[in-house]
Structure 1
Amino acid sequence: KYDVVESYRMKDADYAIVGMGTVIDTAEATVDWIRDNLGVKVGAVHVTCFRPFPGPEIVAALKNVRTFSVVERMDNPMAQSNPLTREIKAAFADAMIGREGYPYIERIPQVYSGSVGLGSRDVRPGDIIAITRNMQAEDGLPYFVTGIKHPVALTVKEDPDIRPSGAFSMRGHSVGGFGSVTTNKIIATIAGDVFDKKVQAYPKYGSEKKGLPTTYYLTVADGRIRTHSELNFVEFVPVNDANAFLYGNPLKGLQPGGTVFINTPKTTPEEVWLNVPPQAKKIIRENNIRVMALDAAKIAREESPIPDLEVRMQGVVLLGVFLKVTPFAEEAGLTDEEVLAGVEKAVRKYFGKRGEAVVQANLRAIQRGYNEVFTLPEECLASDMTNPVLDPRADVQLFI
């Protein structure tokens, strides 16, 4: 059930963020952080209905604040203001002249307007904090943008972790054609069912074709997950293709004590560690990161009911690894047998209509991922052994 206007922590607010859609989910979670860490009385107002426009309800929600910022995922430079901002200004004008049905007001709060999330960019917690600081400033910008380079772009000074307490997040690195999006959906659905948690899963990719890098994100938590952006704080990073270390830093944002999983045909800890680049080794040691490995491709080949599913079956193996890594089984006091029993129930729910052979193949793949993944021992991580790695981007000149 939704109201046409929903207020969050507005009873004592001096400032407010106003908008529509998921940007206000992020704003609400950031409001909590701002109040707890900066001591600023800020709230959020979510407009869930644009027509008929809920003018009286918006005025009632905002009439007592000093300043509010209306954020919209667009810019109409030829208009008086962007659409939602324009409607809210009109609503306050109607209230000021005493139009019937509107709350009585003696003043109109200062109204700021901003364009956020342009070009499908994320609206991050840091953006919400910057918008709040802009409202507090004596020389705050009445119109601003976030997330792009622009003369009126706000500067982001901090971008905190606003996930629910106890959340467990994953950022996976894969390549197009490996079924990463489907993998993420399966892991989210089954992990949510097994542990009775709230889940959020989404991919990041463009118009790439098979073979190019893709990234996918997953968060599991007890509480409502209100962030809608790329994750900068994660506890688990599966690397489906070890070449990810050559094209970036897949360990970025992995929290101290977190886990990285490497999908590799190497079968011993020493062989796996040899192929980790020196810079990644340094990060792993400094942050006490656990390294796990398994040949998921081999298991997928052996368990896939048909050859066409071999590549995508690697993601099902990853589900077994994910279940092994997460702390939820231990927190709930579940044994391995109880976890796998819950997995079977969820797998039958997800794949049951495709027949018993498919169900059994997926169950075997998950169980093997859960049981066969191995952890690199500390003495292995302490060594500096490294294989020479050919960077495909390097300019190699051959001579005789």
Structure 2
Amino acid sequence: MAWGLSSLFPPAYNARLFRKEGDMKEIRWHGRGGQGAKTVSQILAQINLREGKHVQSFPEYGPERSGAPVRAYNRISDKEILIHSGVYHPDISVVIDESLLESENPTEGLNPEGTLLVNTKRSPEEIKKLTGYSGEIICLDADKIAKEAGTGFPNVPMLGAVVAVLGSDPKLAEGELKGTLAKRLSPEIVEKNLAAFRAGYEAAKGARENAPA
């Protein structure tokens, strides 16, 4: 016999479990093992918690091996978050590794009025043609940003891009990122990551400001 959640919880509880509040933002991260998708989803939660928001951050569990596709998720809201299910209809989909555009379907369930953020050299028009997504598409070369900053990891520039899309306070976000990284990295590496964060933030902000009306 197949069991569903409706068999386990009463209808009133189901409504609380799955209903998405109007102000809530849901984010889905697509990366590969070793690229830090889980880490930046946790840092994003800390940033918004510091802003007084209610937050959730959780990974999708599976085989944890280097290079394997990995997903992580966030929920951010001004109100208490009562949903405790997976994220199926995100408002923002973040693609840390461009190769996942074709293998992982990062636009699946994505809000038609949401944002697809992609680490790529390609243009939004090219990504639209590839994915068929008609909402906002923001492209930034996070690999190049990370290389120029001296970190080599595109997750932090993509975190900066998400902060820009959400409209969070960049100085507060930078301070939270600095405090988190300083616990396990040298001051020199922390500063390189902060530079990558700022560049990712500015790239996404600029792309949005310069997008065709």
- TM-score by length of structure 2 reads 0.82
Of 156, 164, 167 in structure 2, the residue corresponding to residue 324 of structure 1 is 164
Which residue of structure 2 lines up, in the alignment, with residue 190 of structure 1? 47
Which residue of structure 2 lines up, in the alignment, with residue 103 of structure 1? none
Of 179, 189, 200 in structure 2, the residue corresponding to residue 369 of structure 1 is 200
Which residue of structure 2 lines up, in the alignment, with residue 205 of structure 1? 61
Of 141, 164, 177 in structure 2, the residue corresponding to residue 347 of structure 1 is 177
Which residue of structure 2 lines up, in the alignment, with residue 264 of structure 1? 120
- CA shift in 2, pair 1:207/1:219, >3 Å: same
- State whether residues 245 and 277 of structure 1, in contact with CA within 8 Å, keep that contact through their aligned partners in structure 2: no
1:80-95 aligned at under 5 Å gives the runs none
Amino-acid identity (%): 26
Secondary structure of the structure 2 residue equivalent to 1:254: coil
Corresponding letter in the other structure for 1:264: T
- CA shift in 2, pair 1:275/1:348, >3 Å: closer
Of 265, 274, 297 in structure 1, the residue corresponding to residue 126 of structure 2 is 274
- CA shift in 2, pair 1:301/1:248, >3 Å: closer
Query: How many residues in Structure 1 have an aligned counterpart in Structure 2?
Result: 206
User: Runs (4+) of structure 1 moved beyond 3 Å?
Assistant: 128-133, 275-278, 352-356, 375-379
Instruction: Quote the Cα distance in structure 2 between the aligned partners of 1:166 and 1:255.
Output: 14
Question: Over aligned residue pairs, what C-alpha RMSD do you find?
Answer: 3.0
- CA shift in 2, pair 1:296/1:191, >3 Å: farther
| 1:275 CA drift (Å) | 5.0
Question: Which consecutive residues of structure 2, in runs of 5 or more, have no partner in the other structure?
Answer: none
Corresponding letter in the other structure for 2:117: F
Structure with more contact order per residue of length (Cα contacts < 8 Å, sep ≥ 6): 2
- State whether residues 235 and 255 of structure 1, in contact with CA within 8 Å, keep that contact through their aligned partners in structure 2: yes
Which residue of structure 1 lines up, in the alignment, with residue 146 of structure 2? 300
Secondary structure of the structure 2 residue equivalent to 1:316: helix
Which residue of structure 1 lines up, in the alignment, with residue 34 of structure 2? 177
| 1:246 CA drift (Å) | 1.8
Larger Rg: 1
1:227-246 aligned at under 5 Å gives the runs 227-246=83-102
Map Cα deviations across residues 111-160 of structure 1 (whole Å, 9 max, x no partner): xxxx97xxxxxxxxx72488547xxxxxxxxxxxxxxxxxxxxxx9x9x9
- State whether residues 28 and 73 of structure 2, in contact with CA within 8 Å, keep that contact through their aligned partners in structure 1: yes
- CA shift in 2, pair 1:247/1:255, >3 Å: same
Instruction: Quote the Cα distance in structure 1 between the aligned partners of 2:31 and 2:66.
Output: 11
- State whether residues 164 and 224 of structure 1, in contact with CA within 8 Å, keep that contact through their aligned partners in structure 2: no
| 1:277 CA drift (Å) | 4.7
Which residue of structure 2 lines up, in the alignment, with residue 127 of structure 1? 5
Corresponding letter in the other structure for 1:262: V
Instruction: Quote the Cα distance in structure 1 between the aligned partners of 2:159 and 2:30.
Output: 15
- State whether residues 181 and 216 of structure 1, in contact with CA within 8 Å, keep that contact through their aligned partners in structure 2: yes
Instruction: Quote the Cα distance in structure 2 between the aligned partners of 1:206 and 1:228.
Output: 19
